[in-house]
Amino acid sequence: MRILVVGTGGREHALLWKLRRDAPSAELFATQPNAGMASLARPVPIAPGDVEALTGWAASQRIDLAVVGPEAPLAAGIADRFRKKGVPVFGPSAEAARIEASKAFAKDLMTEAGIPTAGHRTFTDAEQAVAFIRESGAPIVVKASGLAAGKGAVVCATVEEAEAAVSSMLHDRAFGEAGREVVIEEFMEGEELSVFAVTDGEEALLLLSAQDHKRIGEGDTGLNTGGMGAYAPVSLATPAILLEAREKILVPTLRALAAKGCPFKGLLYAGLMLTKDGPKVVEFNCRFGDPETQAILPLLDSSLLELFAEVAEGGSLKGREPRFRAETAVTTVLASEGYPGDYPKGRTIDIPAAVSDDPDVMVFHAGTQLAGDRVVTSGGRVMTVTGIGATLAEAASRSREAAASIRFDGKQFRRDISWREMARDERMKV
């Protein structure tokens, strides 16, 4: 079997790692692989965003399954193009990917279908947006409607901050075209939970839920990032909460998309806020989470490839049930100096043998590349280090210690990944 993974980050490294385990004899290919992916897959010298070139390549290479990691090629229609050329693909059509690519579309769909989410209004006119903010008061949330690499949401404590956010998006175009339209939302209070469903358009097969740490600083302080660490499972994701998420959020969303003529076939990621009134949607994503995937996949015992292939071939997931190890995984992101702002590249990375050889530690590369025989940094998020353990404390210390022992100049990482769950554990003991 010939499998192509599109994307170059930690999530894609984890996907390749799992596919390699599921199909030891498959031929794996990856677009512009980072240094870690390069040992698992043959390189395809085409950027993940070059949809036309990739379509031609995949069709001519008789690829049996394409798995698309990032949202941008999905929003640009890569799955539609692949299907048209007869390349089976796991990932939604461009129309279905609007659930992530246009927050305005997602919010309207949720409102129409009665799916619990923050109340909102959409604006292209700054004066109207500001009038609405003044009328609503703070705290309030201002979001660029389009794709902004996870950085387009601003939670504002004051009306002045919200006005400044509107002005930077609509006037200064801080997020370019993604901020041509802004969504202004009610502030929701609670803990966040990332819920993942593999779906054929109707069935929603839930994977383990995870919690991400989006802020750069320990204790969840400082600027928003693409994600600085994650852990799974999360005790807040009780069977009752997951049932509610499935019945009130995931299934109705899939029905609403199918009713619009764009069934969602791929991975639907619901970012939820667990409010006192039950789970509400913060956002949908049309792909796996990064870094949540690096925590979830090492715990998945059953085949991911079988699920991908079924969906890609247009089959049904009815009766399937993913099986997870009864252990915990914590993944810590190592980021470059300066991230989430500008950062240097080309710094040499040293991974001690004790880390590479530990069967309970997985190093998933993100922004790395090979420079001769050295591995060097090439992105903001450089790698994620997953620790597996029988307990959360064990998993967290494995991840943290491995993160501490990997070296490159200017390395930043958070030592407190999974702190909320740790605090819950402590409270349970008292």
Q: Which is nearer to ligand AMP, 144 or 388 (CB)?
A: 144
What is the H or E stretch that residue 230 is in? strand 229-232
State yes or no: residue 192 binds ligand GLY (CB under 6 A): no
| x/- map, 293-332, ligand AMP, by CB under 6 A | ----------------------------------------
Strand partners, 126: none
CA angle at residue 337 from 332 to 339, to 5 degrees?
A: 70
Which of ligand AMP, ligand GLY, none has residue 282 at its interface (CB below 5 to 8 Å by kind)?
A: ligand AMP
Shortest CA distance to 179 belongs to which of 151, 158, 202, 160?
151
Q: What are the phi and psi torsion angles at 266 (to 5°)?
A: 160, -140
**How many residues form the binding site for ligand GLY (CB under 6 A)?**
7
Q: How far is the CB of 139 from ligand AMP (least distance, A)?
A: 8
Residue identified by tokens 């996949």 is 297
Q: Among 172-180, 286-294, 308-316, 415-423, which window interacts with ligand GLY (CB under 6 A)?
A: 286-294
What is the H or E stretch that residue 65 is in? strand 65-68
Which of ligand GLY, ligand AMP, none has residue 290 at its interface (CB below 5 to 8 Å by kind)?
A: ligand GLY
Contacts 24+ apart (CB under 8 A), 236-239: 236/191, 236/193, 236/211, 236/274, 236/424, 237/193, 237/195, 237/208, 237/209
- Of 79-98, binders to ligand AMP (CB under 6 A) are none
- Of 137-156, binders to ligand AMP (CB under 6 A) are 141, 143, 150, 152-153, 155
State yes or no: residue 188 binds ligand AMP (CB under 6 A): yes
Q: Among 172-180, 285-293, 355-363, 371-379, which window interacts with ligand GLY (CB under 6 A)?
A: 285-293
State yes or no: residue 203 binds ligand GLY (CB under 6 A): no
Q: What are the phi and psi torsion angles at 259 (to 5°)?
A: -65, -30
State yes or no: residue 185 binds ligand AMP (CB under 6 A): yes
Which of ligand GLY, ligand AMP, none has residue 192 at its interface (CB below 5 to 8 Å by kind)?
A: ligand AMP
Which of ligand AMP, ligand GLY, none has residue 190 at its interface (CB below 5 to 8 Å by kind)?
A: none
Instruction: Report helix, strand and coil shares of the chain as percent, to nearest 5.
Output: 35, 30, 35
State yes or no: residue 100 binds ligand GLY (CB under 6 A): no
State yes or no: residue 274 binds ligand AMP (CB under 6 A): no
Q: Which of 187, 248, 306, 324 binds ligand AMP (CB under 6 A)?
A: 187
d(CA 34, CA 398): 24
Which of ligand AMP, ligand GLY, none has residue 201 at its interface (CB below 5 to 8 Å by kind)?
A: none
- The residues near 247 (Cβ < 8 Å, ≥ 6 apart) are none
d(CA 106, CA 115): 10
Q: How far is the CB of 159 from ligand AMP (least distance, A)?
A: 16
State yes or no: residue 298 binds ligand GLY (CB under 6 A): no
The conformation of residue 100, written as its DSSP 8-state character, comes to H
State yes or no: residue 185 binds ligand GLY (CB under 6 A): no
Strand partners, 196: 269
Q: Is 221 helix (H, G, I), strand (E, B) or coil?
A: strand
Residues at the site binding ligand GLY, with contacts judged by CB under 6 A: 150, 212, 227, 285, 289-290, 292
